[in-house]
Amino acid sequence: MTRLADIGEFEAIQRILASRVPGPGVAVGPGDDAAVLRPTEGMRVAATTDAFVEGVHYRPGDLTDLELGARLAAANLSDLAACAATPRWGLISMGVRAETPIATLVDRDRGLAQALRAHGASLVGGNLAKVQGPEWMSLTLIGECAPDRVWTRLGARPGDLIAVTGYPGRAAAGLAMITANGRAAAGAEWWTPLYLAYAAPASRVEFARALAATHAVHAAIDVSDGLAADLGHLCDASEVGVELREADWPDDPVMVRAATERGVDATRWAWGPSDDYELLLALPAEARERAVEAARAAGTPLTILGACTQLETLVWVGRDGSRRELPRAGYDHFR
Ligand SMILES: [Mg+2]
């Protein structure tokens, strides 16, 4: 097994670059001092960055190196989707130990590049740094959006519907099942959809772009901390509250089965910390059909969870009509 220490930085970079595929809009690609990019005339630039740190964002062995790279891509793709932007170019920095096999690095890069390519983006540059402690990967993703179609967290109004893609909490449930059963058990089990939600999250890039073209959305955010926390961020930015109805909550038998098996409350996954990389949208009631149609065309599950209110609180309305205020219990790195 060849390690980084055996071949050194420059040979390692050569091996990584050997598996890269050049993408569109790149005048000068990887291997020079800086990438030179050709943006589309009339478009605005959207940029985001996200890092994964060993022991914080992932535990060694929970994911393959390909999956780890793809998941970092998904984290960034999701942020661009939340702006309805089209991903174009990525820059990757990795902190790695000298004893790490070169194959590990090549696989992480390949997983990342493949996930970006699936949405039309390519890696145009990168950097390797030697670390002694935990390893890390940081991706900067640059995209483009039409000036009149940019989504932000600001703009939700009382009466707007709140919609979510996918099934909230599945990433947390998937991680819990991997932790309990080991990664080897994933993939051929009834809880495979939960495992996939964690290991290979869908990026809602195409759905977001199609929906933005219909001007149906007032505000958007991606779910990277957890539904409660991210809904809270959207409400704070827009100065609205939200009423969620239990009766409208998405039916997720796989997650409920996992919760029963693990002896936990499924709503803790659905509501609490879970980096699902799904989209939360606020849209006017008259745009409901457009959103449902765009979701159907993109093959994206979409659920209307409730509506925005004037009172700046998160309220849960039970099937029996009971009402209680919800805590905003998402993930916070520093608490
Ligand atoms: Mg985000």
Cα–ligand 1 centroid distance for 230 (angstroms)? 8
Cα–Cα dist 88/78, whole Å? 13
| Amino acid identity at 186 | A
Report the DSSP beta bridge partners of residue 312.
none
Strand order in the sheet with 302-309: 219-223, 278-283, 161-165, 302-309, 241-245, 314-317, 323-325
Cα–ligand 1 centroid distance for 76 (angstroms)? 8
Report the DSSP beta bridge partners of residue 304.
163
Packing angle of the helix pair 253-262, 192-199 (nearest 10 deg): 100
Closest CA to 16 of 130, 109, 95: 109
Cα–ligand 1 centroid distance for 279 (angstroms)? 9
More confident residue, 119 or 250: 119
Alpha-helical regions (H) of the chain: 4-18, 65-81, 102-117, 170-181, 192-199, 205-212, 227-238, 253-262, 266-271, 288-298
The DSSP code for 327 is: P
Compute the average pLDDT of residues 277-296: 97
- Decide if pLDDT at 165 tops 90: yes
pLDDT tens column, 78-100: 999 999 999 999 999 999 999 99
Q: What percent of the chain has pLDDT over 90?
A: 81
User: Over the chain, what is the mean pLDDT?
Assistant: 93
Which element (helix H / strand E) includes 305? Answer: strand 302-309
State whether the Cα torsion 313-169-104-70 is positive or negative.
Answer: negative
Q: Are 29 and 35 in contact (CB under 8 A)?
A: yes
Cα–ligand 1 centroid distance for 102 (angstroms)? 31
Tell me the pTM.
0.94
- Contact residues for 219 (Cβ-Cβ < 8 A; gap 6+): 151, 152, 153, 154, 155, 156, 160, 234, 237, 238, 281, 282
- Structure-token match 């209680």, residue found: 324
Largest CA distance in the chain: 66
> Which pLDDT value is given to residue 249?
85
Report the DSSP beta bridge partners of residue 3.
101
Closest CA to 126 of 114, 107, 140: 140
Cα–ligand 1 centroid distance for 10 (angstroms)? 34
- Decide if pLDDT at 329 tops 80: no
- Decide if pLDDT at 75 tops 80: yes
- Decide if pLDDT at 187 tops 80: no
- Decide if pLDDT at 114 tops 60: yes
**Ion ligand 1 nearby residues (CB, 5 A):** 79, 222, 224
Cα–ligand 1 centroid distance for 5 (angstroms)? 36
- Structure-token match 């009509």, residue found: 321
Cα–ligand 1 centroid distance for 251 (angstroms)? 25
